[in-house]
Structure 1
Amino acid sequence: MSATIIQVQYDALAEIAARFQNQATLTLRLQRRLTHQMSALRESWVGEGAEAFFTEMEQALLPAVSRLATALEEANRTTQQIVTTFQQAEAEAAALFNGGSLSADSQGFTGQGDFAYDSTDYEAPDEIAARWAGLSDEERLAVLTALAAEISESYELAHVPVTVLDIPDPPGLDSRGYRNDNGVFLDIDNLSDPTIIATLAHEVRHEIQNHMADRVNPNAWEQLLRTMGIHEEPVWPDHGVTAAQAREWDENFDNYISPGDDLTAYRDQAVERDAREFGADYLSNLTLEELNATIPTPTATPSPPTGTTTTTTPSPQPAPAPTAPPTAPAPPTGTTTTTTPSPQPGPVPTPPPSPPPASS
């Protein structure tokens, strides 16, 4: 399985955060040094060139350096928040079975779960199971994220983030997933099981339940906004949910039973019964066409534009070895071979001497 999706190296992230902060510090130091040197330069440099230089520094360079420092500091904070989020996720998953309590708090409900014994409530259609088996972990995560977004949109909710990680398993059980205010968390060990789709729907349903509970029992700020006419009073049923259901969920969240406290009571409480039914119905009604629509399309290699010619240059071939001149056949045994020497040019003849001049 692909560890890059779900593993968090806390030491490495801490080192990255420290590097971001160190670079931010160095950048701020550079900004102060530039500002100081500009002040000193102003005392001795005047004229149009000086004004153009100082204007460029003040309006372009120094603001850019400041933005860089701010971005580095924000990167440091974001990296630290990632570490905190994942550590909190792991701690909350472990707390479900380690005597911890994941009930409602001042910021909303933070710990509905779905565990391996719930998987018997779910059954994937054969065509969905076959298609799921052929997907990579990256594709499965993309599909789950898209399905969560579709469910959220159908209730006019913000998209629920989906994270796949290694959730600690209690003795004898396998944690499939849970949700809190940071989104839905699914166990990597169950990612190859197509019923993880039902687990996803189960957890997103908890988000819907929490939203409806807030609508039927608003906090003081929301109630003030409604009284002032800024927000409207909800009309029930709201997306098929009645006010009675929403009130039951709100009361359940205030008195949530974790599986570590009482496994039977955990399964029988209103929010868990409803979430299991929602997850089972969602998976059984999911069509292959709907599933395929959420699978990322592979990026194809672009073809050359029409009308262009692609020329292939052949690889250079080694030059042929020189051919030796043919060798004359050897004469038969017992024969004598006579070699006639090539004629050589003779000496150039010397002209005869001229006769003596005649006497008079």
Structure 2
Amino acid sequence: MIVFFLKISTYNIIKSDHCHTAFMIYKFLLLHILCLLLNCKSEPKKQLREISEGTNLNVKYAKGFSIKDYKTYKILEINKPWPQSKKNYRFALLKANYDANFWSLEKQRFDDVIELPINKIVVTSTTHIPALDLLNVEQTLIGFPGTDFISSEKIRQQINQGSIRELGKNDGLNTEVLLELNPDLVVGFGIDGNNRSLETIKKSGIPVIFNGDWVENSPLAKAEWIKFFGALYNKEKEADSIFNQIEKNYLEAKLLAQNAKTKPTVLSGAMHNDIWYLPNGTSTEAQLLKDANVNYLWQDTVGSGSLKLNFESVFVKAKDADIWLNPSNYSSFETLKNGNENHALFKAFQNKNMFTFTNTIGESGGVLYYELGMTRPDLVLKDLIKICHPGLLENYEAHFFKPLK
């Protein structure tokens, strides 16, 4: 098109009586067209340069997400939303002063583009609740699957007032209600990414981000996902401050535990259908026990998920264990014995030296540990130290763990 224009222009200039003037006009047109061509070619470079320069958010422990700030927008990358995930998910988070023309070209490079701040949100796991609570953005929550499981007092008040809608179950969300709510964002939770409800939501134009806090392999890494929510609400400084305090509390408690003069032996889990489920030695539960300076009897095992053992192997190794923690969802000695009479053969059962978080529940029956424990590992660690080394925290009252009834 440009070549054709040049040919026509040249022909007209040659025919002109005012050769000098015509030549100057021709020269001007040529320079103008060349400038246009150079500008067109440089535009992608400008975009690439803007994409390549940014400030990384400080993420110290978590491996499953990263955030980079580019002044008018942020790029959030989710690396491992579930254990076998092979894809990285990239999201552009646009601030109030973002360049609409720029993003009309760039949005195809991301899994989704989300305008900030988030004013209406749906989350799908109770582990997401504490971040909203701690960042003081709980009023933005408008829907949740299984509201009875929520224990937060502030959010329970919103539920009782009818400002948070019930959405059914995580693996079968009530999409009709959710689409009616029309949130700015849905924070999903999934073990494999195959959630038809969330796929329907995405196809409707509502952004969905899978949160992989539960996949992290250390207590502080899981807690650091509060920074994920901080980025969504432009509250990075607040999230960083909250996490820094949790980290400080945790590391101080871990250091205190090293002063213990004894290391009690610890058993965990219980029988279900002839299988005893216990935390493996590389789990976050085992890491907490290690940091509490106790002798967890399966601390040398390696693997993902829980250990699945038969009764005999557990009994041989742990019949004389000093302390028994987390006997599954059993809430009393009676229900534990009724579940399997062999439970009563352990020394810890006979000495009534058993502790559980099952009985620490919220207003509607939600277990507080499942909601808050991941975000506050400092409290979990202090609970374990109080149980296993009571002399080190004489005035501390356990937050989650209580003696089995």
Say whether the fold is shared (TM-score over 0.5): no
TM-score, structure 2 as length reference: 0.20
Report which structure shows greater RCO (CA 8 Å, sep ≥6): 1
Say which structure is richer in strand.
Answer: 2
Compute the TM-score of the two structures, normalised by the length of structure 1. 0.22
